[in-house]
Amino acid sequence: MTHRIPGKGLIDRTRPLRFSFDGREFEGFQGDTLASALLANGVQLVGRSFKYHRPRGVLTAGSEEPNALVEVIEGKQKTPNVRATVQELYGGLTVQSQNRWPSLRFDVMAVNDRFAPFLSAGFYYKTFMWPRAFWEKVYEPAIRRAAGLGALSGLHDEGRYEKAFAFCDVLVIGAGPTGLMAALVAGRAGADVILADEDARMGGRLLSDQPEVAGQSGPDWAADMLAELAAMPNVRLMTRTTVTGVYDGGTFGALQRVGLHLADPGDLPRECFWRIVAKRAVLATGALERPIAHPDNDRPGVMLASAVQSYVARYGVNPGRVVVFGNNDSALQAARDLTAQGVQVAGYVDPRADVSVLEEFPVYPGGQVVGTRGRLGLREVAVRHGGGVSMLTAETLALSGGWNPSLHLTCHLGGRPDWDERLAAFVPRAGMVAGMSVAGAARGRFSTAACLADGAALAAEVLADMGIAGHDMPLPAAEDRSYAIAPFWAVDAGGRAWLDFANDVTTKDVQQAAQEGFSSVEHMKRYTTQGMAPDQGKSSNVAALAVLADATGQGISATGTTTFRPPYTPVSIAAMGAGGRGMGFAPERLLTSDSQTRAMGAPMIEAGLWYRPSYFPRAGEATWREACDREVSMVRTAVGVCDVSTLGKIDVQGPDADRFLDLIYTNMMSSIKPGRTRYGLMLREDGHVMDDGTCARLGEAHFLITTTTAAAGPVMRHMDFVHQAFCGDWAVRFTSVTEQWAQFALAGPKARELVNKLLETPVDAENFPFMACGPARILGVEGRLFRISFSGEMGYEIAVPARFGAAVFERLVAEAEAMGGGAYGMEALNVLRIEKGFITHAEIHGRVTAFDIGMQGMVSAKKDCIGKSASQRPGLMGPEREQLVGLVPVDPQAELSAGAHLYNENDPATRVNNQGYVTSAGYSPTLQSWLALGFLRDGRARHGQIIRLDDGLRGRKVACKVVHPVFHDPEGGKLRG
């Protein structure tokens, strides 16, 4: 490592780390970033540019890096577009460059650079216009192949990610001098403080410029303050945490790099996405330096002056001979600091004519850098000055076009910053984000002393505002240099001068955009792609605006900025979606009978989040249809058992429970006698059917209602609304008990025989008639019994507390099997209910009325109910409505399908001829025929007619007879049995 200054930097030289870049092995130290370690090894060339594949090096020392994007390799996984300036070094880190082929030093696609005159702004829009047929088939695939930087591995990302919430009184964003002071003041006052900083080590510019603070070196002072903060129980320090977005109500998004810097992260997640809710925030994000656009300013070795300072002071990197090109006092100070650190400054170039020449290095007042040389790394800098053009030999060119306050977060809620002529930069306005104070360099106060003072002052303000008493804190002494700048954006010397390094946008592109009419800043951005790369133009947008303002003659203030949006830096989707995979995405709800059901070999199907058995296969059955047919016949001739616990159950109690249910249901529930059950229909207020179910009156003031599986949540919400909005003073309370009870349907001619095997007190047709309900002791457990049926056969449902569900199911299945019956699944349940014309959400799908399903008679004339008024409006009842009908194919073996549409026999299958549609279909082993339910225009008046079922998707046309929707036992004798 020849490019390290002995003894310098905050790296741990006792801990060397091996890493590899493009297959070559290098050594760095603990505390290095990948960028500093590469520079310390003399590697200047780290990537190829996006469009022209120009050789590029490291421009910055922070998260705003536009050039040094690399792929991190972990086994077979690749993480593309990792900023080398952010990635911390660890032993074994394996990295490769991207957007080059076959190698970084020789890249075939660099030929693009030769065609640059043809590839300027708007090239795609102008070139790929015709022929139109080529847009999607030729142009887009070709452009997509050529575009992009890094590549994904194509493998599933198995990495661990986390998301988390945090709350605090004061969130301090940025831990430079301003943020440290703000956190100290707030922390000492006892406020709950979160101090978040995107760097691995807190201190901000104190670590890089290393100004003296309170008589200590910057890093030492920062370390002392951090030690004090770390000892405070009310302060949480979050390093490696970038606050990426500001949202309403004091909510902040933040991305924490948790395990990405470790050789062996163990159980740690790679990243954690935080949602931080803060009563107040102090934005202390500092400022970002900007480069100057001059010809060939994108050569490896060209860096921001502040980055050169960071690499020298923090990482001990020797930059070789340095030319500094700046238009402001901070640039001159950088040249002085570098000299003081022992770096050879080959020249200080400043377009300002009045700049001091009494320095320890050559100064070129009124000078400009007009070009650079060096194929893959800087060798010479061409400086134009009063005396002509001089070629200065240098390995590093340090640029400083001034500083942009990092005000991005202040604009996330739509605020716009002000242009400050004195600073030649945008500064935040007051009150852009409610509850956020902007302090220090982030609002244009650039000296260390000003930052320390501002951080303390604003924290004190925030505390006072929150009613927290603060302590006086003496301000540490520090440099308080003034900052003067002469706006200077681009060198006019021919050639290409780069603004946006990441997207290869030059000053010419911006000027051309203006010329072609894209003179609004938002249009220019989209036309040139300025600021649209992963770095979002952090170091280039303002200069691009200035070049645009110059071209349009408008001035920067009138030109305005583009919109700052979250995230501030790229956030991986995996981190935002952490926990959203598999069961985190869709939790699984399992029946109490689940393990036995699976043990019986039943394939499970999803019903919402529930898993229910599709069918219970038996030996010799080759297809699901055979099992289903057998289960249906079993119910029709013996007895079947089915777990129906997924139905929503809501326990309703109180003296006003009955009239509340009258309001909720269309039919009268207050007239049910205790111990009886009634079928009920619910409407939405717009008159359409919401749900159906049963309502069992367990006592005078105690009801238990059921909902369909799918509507359990919405019905609960609806009942809460009706109660709270319209009759909050009624004495009624209700709660969901879906999970508390396991419930099983017993159906078939032998259902009573089966239920009596479990009941301590047997029932008969007289003492427990159809629609009875009540408490029952089931296998020694207090449960409930209901004489209801969803199959059309004699049916009971028994309910037991969920913890007994598995045992009861096991016993029921064993007893049923001994009686020639057994368990049945969803397929059979569906066929059974179709045979009976019972509806599910396939029929009550949200667009049907009580009239449509033939239940208008259930809308009681004696009382109001939700949806009653609207259900009677014109257009919701009448012959123009599509009404529920049964469909039987003329050829009983002709398969019917749900989703098919209905047409009159000779009409073509077009929209205007549509007569209705099929909602459910199945094969009925009972009737030895396919059956379907559907909606047919004026269907109840058309029983007996022949209609054509037309399934365009399956190419199926079947002549069907329109019938009453109850196919099986229409008189209901078996049901009441």
Q: From 94-102, 386-394, 522-530, 715-723, give the range in contact with other proteins by CB under 8 A.
A: 715-723
Q: Which H, E and C letters describe 266-291, residue by residue?
A: CCCCCEEEEEEEEEEEEECCCEEECC
Q: Which residue in 373, 717, 803, 954 binds other proteins (CB under 8 A)?
A: 717
In the complex, what is the shortest distance from the CB of residue 743 to other proteins, in angstroms, rounded to a whole number? 23
Nearer to other proteins, 422 or 717 (CB): 717
Question: By C-alpha distance, which of 690, 673, 672 is closest to 681?
Answer: 690
Exposure of 231 by Cβ count < 10 A (0-12 exposed, 13-18 middle, 19+ buried)?
exposed
Q: Which residue in 356, 721, 739, 954 binds other proteins (CB under 8 A)?
A: 721
- Using the rule CB under 8 A, is 716 a contact of other proteins? yes
In the complex, what is the shortest distance from the CB of residue 863 to other proteins, in angstroms, rounded to a whole number? 9
Per-residue exposure over 441-475, b if at least 16 CB sit within 10 Å of its own CB, e if not:
bbbbbbbbbbbbbbbbbbbbbbbeeeebebeeeee
Nearer to other proteins, 460 or 690 (CB): 690
Nearer to other proteins, 618 or 717 (CB): 717
In the complex, what is the shortest distance from the CB of residue 728 to other proteins, in angstroms, rounded to a whole number? 3
Q: From 249-257, 530-538, 898-906, 937-945, give the range in contact with other proteins by CB under 8 A.
A: 249-257
Tokens 């009653």 locate to 868
In the complex, what is the shortest distance from the CB of residue 857 to other proteins, in angstroms, rounded to a whole number? 18
Q: Which residue in 723, 752, 784, 942 binds other proteins (CB under 8 A)?
A: 723
Nearer to other proteins, 251 or 623 (CB): 251
Beta strands 161-173; 271-283: pairing state: parallel
Q: Which residue in 686, 810, 907, 938 binds other proteins (CB under 8 A)?
A: 686
In the complex, what is the shortest distance from the CB of residue 609 to other proteins, in angstroms, rounded to a whole number? 15
Q: From 20-28, 227-235, 363-371, 721-729, give the range in contact with other proteins by CB under 8 A.
A: 721-729
In the complex, what is the shortest distance from the CB of residue 864 to other proteins, in angstroms, rounded to a whole number? 4
Count CB neighbours of 555 within 10 A.
12
Q: Which residue in 166, 781, 870, 898 binds other proteins (CB under 8 A)?
A: 870
Binding letters toward other proteins, positions 372-411, x by CB under 8 A: ----------------------------------------
CA 293 to chain centre: 37
Question: What pairs with residue 83 in β-bridges?
Answer: 69
- Cβ atoms of 148 and 563 within 8 Å: the answer is no
Q: Taking each helix axis as running N to C, give the angle between helix 521-528 and helix 507-515, from 0 to 180 degrees, rounded to the nearest 10.
A: 120
* Length of the chain (residues): 977
614-620 long-range Cβ contacts below 8 angstroms, 24+ apart:
614/825, 614/826, 614/827, 615/824, 615/825, 615/826, 615/827, 615/828, 616/822, 616/823, 616/824, 616/825
Q: From 212-220, 543-551, 723-731, 829-837, give the range in contact with other proteins by CB under 8 A.
A: 723-731
> What is the identity of the amino acid at 616?
F
Q: From 224-232, 310-318, 490-498, 724-732, give the range in contact with other proteins by CB under 8 A.
A: 724-732
- Cβ atoms of 296 and 491 within 8 Å: the answer is no
Nearer to other proteins, 657 or 960 (CB): 657
Number of residues that bind other proteins (CB under 8 A): 26
Tokens 């320095």 locate to 359
Question: What pairs with residue 620 in β-bridges?
Answer: none
Output helix, strand, coil percentages for the chain, rounded to the nearest 5: 25, 30, 45
Q: Which residue in 465, 522, 720, 760 binds other proteins (CB under 8 A)?
A: 720
Nearer to other proteins, 429 or 526 (CB): 429
Q: How many helices (H) and strands (E) does the chain have?
A: 24, 50
In the complex, what is the shortest distance from the CB of residue 279 to other proteins, in angstroms, rounded to a whole number? 10
Which residues in the 415-444 window bind other proteins by CB under 8 A?
Answer: 434
Nearer to other proteins, 7 or 728 (CB): 728
In the complex, what is the shortest distance from the CB of residue 703 to other proteins, in angstroms, rounded to a whole number? 18
Q: Which residue in 725, 861, 912, 953 binds other proteins (CB under 8 A)?
A: 725
- Cβ atoms of 164 and 274 within 8 Å: the answer is yes
User: What's the Cα-to-Cα distance from 939 to each of 747, 882, 936, rounded to whole Å?
Assistant: 31, 6, 5
Spatial CB neighbours of 748, under 8 Å, sequence gap ≥ 6: 634, 635, 636, 637, 638, 639, 640, 754, 791, 793, 794, 821
- Using the rule CB under 8 A, is 728 a contact of other proteins? yes
Q: From 139-147, 287-295, 608-616, 867-875, give the range in contact with other proteins by CB under 8 A.
A: 867-875
Count CB neighbours of 733 within 10 A.
13
- Cβ atoms of 793 and 698 within 8 Å: the answer is no
Which residues in the 873-902 window bind other proteins by CB under 8 A?
Answer: 873
CA dist., res. 454 & res. 74, Å (int): 44
Nearer to other proteins, 26 or 851 (CB): 851
In the complex, what is the shortest distance from the CB of residue 868 to other proteins, in angstroms, rounded to a whole number? 6
Q: From 90-98, 719-727, 794-802, 826-834, give the range in contact with other proteins by CB under 8 A.
A: 719-727
Tokens 């190829």 locate to 48
- Using the rule CB under 8 A, is 162 a contact of other proteins? no
In the complex, what is the shortest distance from the CB of residue 413 to other proteins, in angstroms, rounded to a whole number? 7
**What DSSP assignment string belongs to 765-807?**
TTTS-TTBEEEEEETTEEEEEE---SSSSSEEEEEEEGGGHHH
In the complex, what is the shortest distance from the CB of residue 277 to other proteins, in angstroms, rounded to a whole number? 7
Q: Which residue in 685, 895, 938, 969 binds other proteins (CB under 8 A)?
A: 685
- Using the rule CB under 8 A, is 118 a contact of other proteins? no
- Using the rule CB under 8 A, is 869 a contact of other proteins? yes
In the complex, what is the shortest distance from the CB of residue 691 to other proteins, in angstroms, rounded to a whole number? 17
Q: From 741-749, 786-794, 868-876, 882-890, give the range in contact with other proteins by CB under 8 A.
A: 868-876
Q: Which residue in 724, 906, 910, 928 binds other proteins (CB under 8 A)?
A: 724
Nearer to other proteins, 78 or 868 (CB): 868
Question: What pairs with residue 949 in β-bridges?
Answer: 902, 958
Q: Which residue in 214, 277, 376, 475 binds other proteins (CB under 8 A)?
A: 277
Binding letters toward other proteins, positions 770-799, x by CB under 8 A: ------------------------------
- Using the rule CB under 8 A, is 165 a contact of other proteins? yes
Spatial CB neighbours of 159, under 8 Å, sequence gap ≥ 6: 77, 269, 270, 574
> What is the identity of the amino acid at 264?
D
Left (φ > 0), alpha (ψ -120 to 50) or beta: where does 273 sit? beta
In the complex, what is the shortest distance from the CB of residue 666 to other proteins, in angstroms, rounded to a whole number? 13
CA dist., res. 831 & res. 931, Å (int): 9
Question: What pairs with residue 902 in β-bridges?
Answer: 916, 949
CA dist., res. 775 & res. 759, Å (int): 11
Q: Which residue in 23, 131, 233, 249 binds other proteins (CB under 8 A)?
A: 249
In the complex, what is the shortest distance from the CB of residue 875 to other proteins, in angstroms, rounded to a whole number? 11
- Using the rule CB under 8 A, is 864 a contact of other proteins? yes
Q: Which residue ranges make up the site for other proteins (CB under 8 A)? A: 165, 247-251, 275, 277, 413, 434, 685-686, 716-717, 720-721, 723-726, 728, 864, 868-870, 873
